[in-house]
Structure 1
Amino acid sequence: MTTEDPFAFGDLTEEPPRSLVDLVYASWVAVPGPLGEVFLAFTRQGVEYARPAAALPDGDGGFRAAYRARFGRPLRRADAPPAGVLAALSGRPSRALRLHLPGLSDFERAVLAATRRIPAGQTRPYNWVAAQIGRPRAVRAVGTALGNNPVPLLVPCHRVTKATGEPGGYVFGPAMKERLLRAERVNLDEVGDLARHRVFFIGSDTTRIVCYPTCANARRITERHRRGFRTVEEARAHGYRPCKHCAPAAAAPA
């Protein structure tokens, strides 16, 4: 597990002066996202809650009610989103983006911090997240923590999939998860076809490196040099080493 994460959830070293209004209200704003409008709620400490408008039948009223039910505070409309939000929603990591996630356990925070490191256009299985946080057996608990993610899209839990290559569940349903992944140009059809042939890792016979199929390094391997493996252990037995970029987890798919 990485001890210093540049995209971990930061805390302010000194609380800025707050008016009475700031103590009563949090702010909310609507911004463009990968599949349409996204509602965000935030305080001076960072973004606390995010929901795509397409997942809320009652629009911003439903969003404000859901936020108040979870956090106990009303919302007032803001003129602009916090720094880094638009970049993050476009798939570009931003050090300026601050997240404030009260009420989460240390385990949930670790899961979200690891998930936040998955690049746009790539996926990682639940067991990868579990391995990253030093809890390789806690795969089901990882799924539960991701289901409780208060800031989806900013913490891209849609990029966490089943080890078998299937997209898996999502807080807003599997159809939206698939739409988000395809919008990021994840080749779900190729991943599914490989999985049907029991291929879950791709190696290059020139570099002798093995990766997840969606890893940027794997996508650069030409067809003639691609080698498929069911497990990382199988790849190691053939003289391949795990990619340092995607860090494929050793656990085999079920």
Structure 2
Amino acid sequence: MTDTPTADRPAPDPLLAGLRDLAEPAPTTLTDRVVDGWVRAPSPLGEVYAVAGAGGVRLLRTAAHAGDLEVFLEEYRTRHGRPVRPATRPPRGLLPALRGTGGPPELDLTDVGDFARQVLAATARIPAGQVRPYGWVAREAGHPKAVRAVGTALARNPVPLLIPCHRVVRGDGGLGQYLSGAGDKATLLAGEGLDLDRVADLAAAGTRLIGSDTTGVVCFPSCHHARRITDAHRRGFASLDRARAAGYRPCRDCRP
């Protein structure tokens, strides 16, 4: 049924009707849309502080690395221009992700530039217990020559543990640095089952890739395929070029 103008009910103003159509009811979580919430949560590195908004987790730091909580929160307010208050509960998925029993929760990376988002997306694809060099991340992110810039982007990772920058290592096989220290990086990798002594031995020997002479496939040493190669059929290579020259092809999973 349409409204018919009468003497008592004049024709509706088209401008007011248009504005009415644009209006939306206020969300039930209006406060959550304008105020971010912070929580404490347990992690493999001890207590962490996580700050989240309606779009997901925006920042995560270990309590030890963040330092004084009030200073940490004030820096967040200044940097992001948003108020922050204690949240009533952790964001959905945060606790399982920190325990290693689930994927990452929703993340809000709107304050991160396009290049950094590409780097973080590539890093997020590294499986637990495996590592990849910075050059691999640069290539996977679509910027194969930007290795140094990848290191800078990962050093500014707003959500470590959730996006596993601890799984990115130096090109020479060494573990390298980490946001909260090299010791934390080693702790996380060992907790995921990576054999740190073997990583160190391979790095010292100049072995960057491991191949199987039965399959003719070459992998990063931490790849799950490489771990299954027996000693009798394992071949080490210093580079992919040398592996290819010997007749090996790169693994389709770890893509060295």
Alignment TM class, shorter chain as reference: 0.7 to 0.9
Please give the residue correspondences for 1:63-212 in structure 2 after superposition, counting only pairs within 5 Å.
63-92=72-101, 94=103, 97-212=105-220
Task: Pick from 230, 235, 245 the counterpart of residue 222 of structure 1.
Answer: 230
The answer to which of 48-57 and 145-154 deviates more is 48-57
Normalising to structure 2: TM-score of the pair?
A: 0.84
- Alpha-carbon deviation of 1:41? 0.7
Residue 23 of structure 1, CA deviation: 4.3
**Corresponding letter in the other structure for 1:125:** P
TM-score, normalized by length of structure 1? 0.85
With over 3 angstroms needed to count, the CA separation of the structure-2 counterparts of 1:156 and 1:90, relative to structure 1, is: same
CA distance in 2, matches of 1:151, 1:218: 30
Per-residue CA deviations over 1:131-166 (Å, capped at 9, x if unaligned) read: 101211100000011111111111111111101111
C-alpha contact (below 8 Å) 1:91/1:119 kept by paired residues: no
Shift of 1:102: 2.1
Which runs of 5 or more structure 2 residues have no equivalent in the other structure?
1-25
Structure 2 letter corresponding to 1:84: G
Matched with 2:239 is: 231
Q: Quick check: 2:38–2:84 contact (8 Å CA) kept in 1?
A: yes
RMSD: 1.8
* Counterpart secondary structure, 1:135: coil
Question: Whole-Å Cα distance in 2 between the matches of residues 159 and 138 of structure 1?
Answer: 18
What percent identity do the matched residue pairs reach? 53
CA distance in 2, matches of 1:50, 1:69: 16
The 1-side partners of 2:207 and 2:184 are apart by: 25
Check whether the contact 1:147–1:171 (CA below 8 A) recurs between aligned residues. yes
1:210–1:240 Cα contact (<8 Å) kept = yes
Q: Report if aligned partners of 2:119, 2:137 keep a CA contact under 8 Å in 1.
A: yes
Q: Larger relative CO (CA 8 A, sep 6+): 1 or 2?
A: 1
CA distance in 2 between counterparts of 1:43 and 1:199 reads 44
- Number of aligned positions between the proteins: 231
Q: Which has the larger displacement, 205-214 or 72-81?
A: 72-81
CA offset at residue 43 of structure 1?
A: 1.1
CA distance in 1 between counterparts of 2:233 and 2:89 reads 48
CA distance in 2, matches of 1:41, 1:28: 4
- 1:29 aligns with one of 14, 22, 39: 39
| C-alpha contact (below 8 Å) 2:93/2:103 kept by paired residues | yes
Q: Is the 8 A contact 2:33 2:53 kept in 1?
A: no
Flag the 1:92–1:196 CA change in 2: closer, same or farther, 3 A: same
Asked if the contact 2:35/2:84 (under 8 Å) is kept, the reply is yes
Deviation at 1:69, TM superposition (A): 2.8
Report if the CA contact (8 A) 1:209-1:241 is conserved. yes
**Matched position secondary structure for 2:201:** helix
1:55 aligns with 65
Structure 1 pair 56–104 and aligned structure 2 pair: CA distance change class (3 A): closer
